[in-house]
Structure 1
């Protein structure tokens, strides 16, 4: 199974992990809806919806760049409608857009709390709700529809909350969507899963966090390759939904144990661990 002719609606796909997933799908000849906020170049955060579209087309896919703030319901609904008008439907939703602030309660302004929860938890729920009618149609047509949330396994341990309660709540909100929607959508034939990295991933957003050594990270392509395995799995098999996958574990389960090509620094084996992986 591949993604040729499938339509993927990917939030936050103008750069980083979302763009890497888009490029991997484009290599099969997929249609990519790039739903992200950045339409004008930003010196601090390289990449726009238009530059991402160019990369998708260069990789072999079709692209629809749409400026979308997933906090706004009308904008999301309009983007879904435009995607359907352009490509005829939506087969896969990747909820990748996210906001992060690794701050404790005293140093988390409510504006930042609201931003994280509106983008991470609410945005994931909204985009899933908006795409659901098209995903149902995809299932009825036998097109193997998926929802993939870029969120961590649920681990209710204090050490994952204490340093940054607001951020953890927001990311776990995405994961609770996975847990609930996998069960809710199973009768429709729609698979819902989460994917999370074991190590820190070198992205522009991570680069903005003081003190992070990007050389001790892995490239976004490891998540793109892991996501591809999920999105090409058979939704008719119950075991392919409701999972909280870790990138390297999933790749290993498919026989891919040599991960050296994903290291930012060639030969490095000492990576910064990501959060939420016990």
Structure 2
């Protein structure tokens, strides 16, 4: 595994109250990182475990410093305030993690425009906005990364044909990676995407993608967190413009046994956008 550390670095993450985002935050916290979370979950939800406040407690318990910012990544003023508060609290921003994402796999004729707009505004617009607002502070960091949880762009018709609204939203996030990597390479700011090989045992899977049956065929969020750690501790001038798959990242880092993340492999469900 990569032996570099995130100690003392500051991460600004959208979402992160639970699931993959929280796992990434807790892994960074074990190094002694500062993590600011921008999320809406101020109060408990009957179908979603955890809030931004319980996530902050978990980060602190893991050894990091946490800043819970109740806000909405869809709103420019909210994002600008989150950036300013993070800088005021921790002195800068080294890493942006575009984690917040909405999902609705309905086919086109059944997808309400309210849900379509929600996905575009959180996934695509939110990722663009959070990164954009953070650029002046990332430019001041020698370890500047923008990591977006989005898939490699695969133009096989089956993906758009199966759930067009969601595909547009996720591929919009992926275009943020492609564009920022090119635009910001001269500033030494890395932009990469990370996507899991398999479905991950999160609330989205439990509630929207098949329930307990799919949960049993999913890996734990820690596999994505460990892969994110490898990426975020890499040299941003050497590691940018990539669409990483969690297993591949860890395998390249020397990991050969994935059983701790759930398995066995033959029972696992491959994630969306991957063959």
1:160 and 2:159 matched = yes
> Where do 5+ consecutive residues of structure 1 fail to align?
none
Structure 1 residues 204 and 73: CA distance shift in structure 2, 3 A: same
CA offsets, 1:181-210, max 9 Å, x none? 001010000000000001000001221116
Specify the SS of the correspondent of 1:137. coil
Two-structure CA RMSD over aligned residues (Å): 1.0
Alignment of structure 1 residues 1-278 onto 2, 5 Å: 1-138=4-141, 142=142, 144-209=143-208, 211-212=210-211, 213=213, 214-237=215-238, 240-263=239-262, 267=264, 269-278=266-275
Tell me the distance in 2 between the aligned counterparts of 1:31 and 1:175. 26
Q: How far apart, CA to CA, are the structure 2 residues paired with 1:130 and 1:227?
A: 22
Q: What is the alpha-carbon distance in structure 2 between the residues aligned to residue 65 and residue 199 of structure 1?
A: 30
Q: Deviations over 1:156-186 (max 9, x none)?
A: 1101110100100000000001001001010
Hey, what's the Cα distance between the residues in 2 that align with 1:268 and 1:183? 36
How far apart, CA to CA, are the structure 2 residues paired with 1:68 and 1:232?
28
Query: Per-residue deviation at 1:2?
Result: 0.9
What is the CA distance between 1:55 and its match in structure 2?
0.3
The number of residues matched between the two structures is: 270
CA distance in 1, matches of 2:264, 2:112: 41
Alpha-carbon distance between aligned partners in 2 of 1:103 and 1:6, rounded to the nearest angstrom: 39
Q: Normalising to structure 2: TM-score of the pair?
A: 0.96
TM-score when scaled to structure 1? 0.95
Question: How much has 1:211 moved relative to structure 2?
Answer: 2.9
d(CA) in 2 for partners of 1:13 and 1:105? 29
Report deviation, 1:269.
3.8
CA distance in 2, matches of 1:17, 1:251: 16
Shift of 1:43: 1.9
